[in-house]
Amino acid sequence: MTAATLTPPRQGAAAGRDGFMHLLHAEWTKFRTVRGWVVAIAVAGLVTLLLGVYTGARSQEGCPGGPCHFTIPTGPGGEAVTDTYYFVHRPLAADGSITVRVTSLTEVMDTAMTPQGTAQTQPALVPWSKAGLIISAGAAQGSSYAAVVVTGSHGSRMQWNYTGDSPGLAGGASATSPRWLRLTRSGDVITGYDSADGTTWSMIDTVTLPGLPLTVQAGLFATSPGYTQQTSQQITGGSSGGAPTDATATFDRVNLEGGWPGNSWTGTPVNGGRSSISYPAAVAGGYHQAGGTFTVTGSGDIAPGVNGASSIDQTLAGMFIGLIAVIVVGALFITAEYRRGLIRVTLAASPRPGRVLAAKAIVLGAVTFAAGLIGAGGAILIGTPLLRANGSPIYPMTTLTEVRVIAGTAALVAVFAVFALGVGTILRRGAGTVAAVLTAVILPYLLTAAFPVLPTAAANWLLRVAPAAGFAIKQVIPQYPQVDGGYAPFQGYFPLAPWAGFAVTCGYAALALTLAAVLLRRRDA
Which domains does the chain show, CATH number per domain?
Answer: 3-7+19-61+310-447 (no CATH), 81-304 (2.60.120.200)
pLDDT of 65: 52
- Min mean pLDDT across 10-19, 203-212, 420-429, 479-488 is at 10-19
- 384-399 average pLDDT score: 81
- 15-19 average pLDDT score: 58
- Min mean pLDDT across 263-267, 277-281, 432-436 is at 277-281
Q: Is the pLDDT of residue 16 over 70?
A: no
Task: Give burial (CB, 10 Å; 0-12/13-18/19+) of 424.
Answer: buried
Q: What DSSP string runs through 296-355?
A: EEE-SEEEE--SS-B-GGGGGTTHHHHHHHHHHHHHHHHHHHHHHT-HHHHHHHS--HHH
Q: Is the pLDDT of residue 469 over 80?
A: yes
pLDDT of 190: 97
How many alpha carbons fall within 13 Å on the CB side of residue 399? Answer: 0
pLDDT of 349: 73
Asked whether the CA dihedral 62, 65, 66, 68 is positive or negative, the reply is negative
What band does 482 get if pLDDT is binned at 50, 70 and 90? confident
Contact 273, 292 (CB under 8 A): no
pLDDT of 271: 81
pLDDT of 39: 96
Give 21-30 pLDDT, tens digit per residue. Answer: 888 998 999 9
Give 484-496 pLDDT, tens digit per residue. Answer: 877 888 888 899 9
pLDDT of 282: 41
What band does 235 get if pLDDT is binned at 50, 70 and 90? very low
Q: Is the pLDDT of residue 335 over 80?
A: yes
Give 94-130 pLDDT, tens digit per residue. Answer: 899 999 999 999 887 654 444 444 445 555 568 899 9
Contact 256, 93 (CB under 8 A): no
- Min mean pLDDT across 73-77, 221-225, 292-296, 319-323 is at 73-77
Contact 71, 395 (CB under 8 A): no
- Min mean pLDDT across 83-97, 261-275, 418-432 is at 261-275
What band does 8 get if pLDDT is binned at 50, 70 and 90? very low
Using a pLDDT cut of 90, give the percent of the chain over it: 56
pLDDT of 439: 95
More confident residue, 335 or 351: 335
pLDDT of 490: 84
What band does 209 get if pLDDT is binned at 50, 70 and 90? very high
pLDDT of 263: 85
Separation CA 450–CA 234 (nearest Å):
11
- 231-235 average pLDDT score: 47
What band does 277 get if pLDDT is binned at 50, 70 and 90? very low
Give 125-150 pLDDT, tens digit per residue. Answer: 688 999 999 999 998 889 999 999 99
Cα–Cα distances in Å, from 415 out to 85, 421, 450, 468?
46, 10, 21, 11
pTM score over 0.95: no
Question: Residue 442: helix, strand or coil by DSSP?
Answer: helix
- 370-383 average pLDDT score: 94
More confident residue, 439 or 353: 439
Mean pLDDT of the chain: 85
What band does 3 get if pLDDT is binned at 50, 70 and 90? very low
Using a pLDDT cut of 70, give the percent of the chain over it: 84
- 443-451 average pLDDT score: 89
Separation CA 359–CA 328 (nearest Å):
18
